[in-house]
Structure 1
Amino acid sequence: MRYADFLGFLFPQNALIKKDKKELVIDPNIKLDLCGVTSVPPFMKKISEIVREHKWFCEILKKQNQNNKIKIFCGLQHPPENAIPSDISYLGDIGIKYMTLAYETESVYGGGFATPQAPLTEEGKWLLRMMARAGIILDLSHAGHRTAREALVYIHEKNLRLKVVASHTGCWSIYSHYRNLPDDVLLGIKELNGIVGLATVTFKLDQYDNTLNPFFNHFNHALNILGEDHIALGTDGLYRIMDAKEEAARFEVMKKKLDPRGNFKARYPDQPMELNRPDRLTVIENEMIKRGISVKTAEKIMGENLAKFFSEL
């Protein structure tokens, strides 16, 4: 079995923010072959700080990911503000593979998830053209619904050679949290031969349930409308065992930093506790098989689809 996660955390997020090198260690028991990571926190928006942070993060990865045991792809959850063409091409040159249009509220390019009626702006259309030129994938995970729809329309109208994904999301039809995408957007990603990564974040998938059950509700719906070739995992989770106190502390730090306005409706635990381990994908795999998913389909979703997608870049 090949294991891949479109958005995973190899290090605790609070340790990354504090730059605590003692904690910036990949768990030796990790079971992961390919991973998409956020190399820069979304509250960094200036091109200078994005480049600086990305390069620092890559140095940490170089030391920790010996012999490239895990194939790693870096992305940004917030685009650089007031960018010029050379900024976007440079991001591609230094290894940024995918990028959003906005994170939470409106950016100069369009709406984040908390502003679902905000449009794709002229600057956003410019950014899409620059990303296509630089070979950077568009990630609609954090986009507001209107911005996501208008981005897909614009890509078709201009026939842009731009790959489109949602690296970590859920299905709006199953739970109407604005971080989840409606069916027409998910189908639009499929139409462009993209990938939809499904998250395991509790508060995005269900109002109350903190188990894996809500994930499978979203998974079954996505499988029904998208088919087995366009779904992957984008868990948005940490590949390490954390004790309860460590987990609670990490959550509070990240909630204050990333959700000060409460738009995420974040709650603890933010991940099902049964996934609190470095081989978290094996838990999902076993549960898939237990629920009647064929081995062939499970293999595609657990890793083959994402590996194929990145191999074709």
Structure 2
Amino acid sequence: MTAPTLSRRALLIASGAAAMTLPMRWAQAASWKGYRDSIVIDGLGGPGSITAEPGQPLTDAHLKDVRDSGLAAVLVTVGAVGTMTQDEAFKEAVRSMLDMDREIARHPDTFASVRKAADIAAAKKAKRTGLIYGVQDGVAFESDLDLLEDLHQLGLRVVQPTYNRRNLLGDGCMEPANAGLSRTGVEAIERLNSLNILVDLSHCGRQTSADAIKASKQPVAFTHTGCAAVIEHPRHRTDEELRAVADKGGVSGVFFMPYLSGGKQPTAADVIRHLDHMINVAGEDHVSIGTDGTISPAVLDQKYKDTFADTTRRRKEAGIAAPGETEDGYLFANDLNTPRRLETLGQMLADRGHSATRIEKILGRNLLRVFSEVWRG
């Protein structure tokens, strides 16, 4: 029997989409003066609310949050993760991209479509947020790599070969065997390179990641992760892995997750601690941000708590939950709870002595460079 699968909405809930209403002191947080003119990119996130029903349109408040965010682009997950047939996964990915296309068409003053890196700069100039399509599980094409061409034609630009578990391409980070890429997985990396799709290894196992880095002829990324040297966790990356991605010309992005603090509610200080370590290991040209959350803050009300608890249970039933996921372990940095959270983070980095050039790279320029190199335009 097929195990439960998780929609994009459910994935966001259980992977960092939550945020409480800010205390007044954070609502007035200092802002980094370079933010307005910087190209800011969230390496994983998205618009909307985690408590919205499937198919429910974005509200005016959600759209305002996107416009207020100052984000030039955000990588949004299309499709689902979990154990399912290839046909189901492919259909879900296609449907999800078409749904996002409709949102862009409905709100051209807020969103822009991203197919090449130049689209991000254009979105910034037009004061819109570009939506980059990515999948977090390769099951949609795992036994038919020709399907990648169809997905690319529809706008897919970032691909994670595996999620937390094993598929036909390789092992995810929760597989104890750590078997690495399969032959088909190596072929998939080659096909992704030929289509100029960025290879994202955020949820891949250690050996799968090493194999993919070796096989890829283009830069690769860990778009949303943490540092294993700071806090050991299967979703975090070792110094060796961070250096390998940097040597390949890629980037590693820090997420806003409780894994950063050993399962406790993360704070900006936790994010910065991992950023500092990542910069020291990989260099300032190879570090970015992938919040793994929604742009809009959320109120931690009963509806949210019930939704979060239900999704956490379903992730465990599907066998795709990571260690430390609990029904009340809300996944957000509680002092970066604003649509302009990266502006607040930028000022915090500046206060620690990081240069404006370095901050601009971390908040988006490094990702833009990698997108330009991989997408070839």
- Does the TM-score normalized on the shorter chain lie above 0.5? yes
CA distances 1:208-244 after superposition (whole Å, capped 9, x unpaired): 2532222122111100011111111111122112112
Q: Tell me which moved more, 137-146 or 113-122.
A: 113-122
Q: How far apart, in 1, do the equivalents of 2:107 and 2:260 lie?
A: 31
Gaps of 5+ in 1: none
The answer to whether the Cα contact below 8 Å between 1:97 and 1:137 also exists between their aligned partners in 2 is: yes
1:264-307 deviations in Å (ceiling 9; x for gaps):
42242311112222111112112111222222211211122222
Q: Distance in 2 between matches of 1:265 and 1:144?
A: 18
Matches within 5 A, 1:297-308: 297-308=358-369
- State the alpha-carbon separation in 2 of the partners of residues 29 and 145 from structure 1: 38
Q: 2:293 aligns with which of 219, 233, 237?
A: 237
Correspondences of 1:265-284 after superposition (within 5 Å): 265-267=324-326, 268-284=329-345
- Secondary structure at the residue paired with 1:85? coil
Rounded to whole Å, the distance in 2 between the matches of 1:136 and 1:13 is: 28
Give yes or no for the alignment of 1:7 onto 2:44: yes
State the TM-score, normalizing by the size of structure 2. Answer: 0.75
* Partner residue in 1 for 2:255: 199
1:153 alignment partner in structure 2: 214
1:157-207, CA deviations, whole angstroms, 9 ceiling, x for partnerless residues?
xxx3x3311111111111111011112121111111111111111234433
Higher mean C-alpha displacement, 286-295 vs 131-140: 286-295
Matches within 5 A, 1:118-197: 118-155=179-216, 160=217, 162-197=218-253
Aligned residue number for residue 151 of structure 2: 91
For 2:307 and 2:108, locate their aligned partners in 1 and report how far apart those are by CA, in whole Å. Answer: 23
Amino acid at match of 1:7: L
Match of 2:76 among 37, 53, 66: 37
Does 2:55 correspond to 1:19?
yes
Amino acid of the residue matched to residue 74 of structure 1?
Y
Residue 286 of structure 1: aligned partner: 347
Aligned amino acid, residue 211 of structure 2: E
Name which of structure 1's ranges 54-63 and 164-173 shifts more when overlaid on structure 2: 54-63
CA distance in 2, matches of 1:153, 1:22: 41
User: Scaled by the length of structure 1, what TM-score is found?
Assistant: 0.90
Q: How many residues align?
A: 307
Query: In structure 2, how many angstroms separate the alpha carbons of the residues matched to 1:81 and 1:265?
Result: 30
Give distance in 1, aligned partners of 2:108 and 2:240: 38
CA displacement at 1:82 relative to structure 2: 3.8
Alignment of 1:245-264 (within 5 A): 245=301, 247-260=304-317, 261=319, 262-264=321-323
Alpha-carbon distance in 2 for matches of 1:292, 1:30: 24
Residue aligning to 1:115: 175
Structure 1 residue 71 and structure 2 residue 130: aligned?
yes
Identity over aligned pairs, percent: 23
- Residues 76 and 100 in structure 1, CA contact (< 8 A), matched pair in contact too: yes
RMSD after superposition: 2.2
